[in-house]
């Protein structure tokens, strides 16, 4: 089915192709799994202080179908990642967001490489002069 025919069928209420059905079903399932409760955890209260953990959720998915001769097939996949980013503190009517600072691996490697290069340069200068 060509693109124009596919668009026309969809506009006229025709059935979606297998790829559209697959992607739509995957998106629905993923949407049901990722809710506000995934991002904001249950509050923790102690001694007049309330802390609400906050996370960041990322997800992606893809899929497709293909046809050749008398064969038809399809496939796809997806993934999700939830990472803590901070927490909300409620105390005496005041609200504050505190970020959790983390160093990612690429930045750590870059910092280590820069340190090695600077130390090497310093060593070469001292030994030559």
Per the CB < 8 A criterion, the answer to whether 112 and 105 are in contact is no
> Structural domain tally of the chain?
1
Q: What single DSSP character describes residue 17?
A: P
* Owning domain of residue 35: 3-100
Of 110, 83, 122, 81, the closest CA to residue 99 belongs to 83
Is 112 part of any domain? no
Q: Give the Å distances, CA to CA, from 93 to 49, 84, 96, 99.
A: 10, 24, 10, 20
pLDDT band at 91 (very low <50, low <70, confident <90, very high): very high
Q: Is the residue at 125 inside a domain?
A: no
At 63-90, the pLDDT tens digits run: 777 888 888 887 777 777 888 899 999 9
Condensed to tens digits (0 to 9), the pLDDT of residues 15-57 reads 556 667 777 777 777 666 666 667 778 889 999 899 999 988 8
The SS3 call for residue 122 is helix
DSSP 6: H
């Amino acid at each position: 089915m060509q693109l124009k025919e596919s668009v026309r069928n969809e506009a006229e209420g025709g059935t979606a192709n297998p790829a559209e059905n697959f992607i739509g079903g995957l998106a629905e399932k993923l949407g049901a799994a990722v809710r506000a409760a995934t991002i904001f955890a249950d509050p923790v209260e102690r001694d007049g202080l309330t802390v609400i953990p906050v996370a960041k959720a990322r997800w992606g998915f893809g899929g497709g179908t293909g046809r050749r001769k008398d064969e038809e097939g399809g496939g796809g996949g997806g993934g999700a990642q939830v990472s803590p980013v901070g927490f909300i503190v409620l105390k005496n009517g005041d609200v504050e967001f505190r970020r959790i600072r983390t160093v990612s691996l690429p930045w750590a490697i870059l910092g280590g490489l820069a340190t090695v290069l600077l130390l090497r340069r310093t060593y070469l200068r001292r030994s030559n002069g």
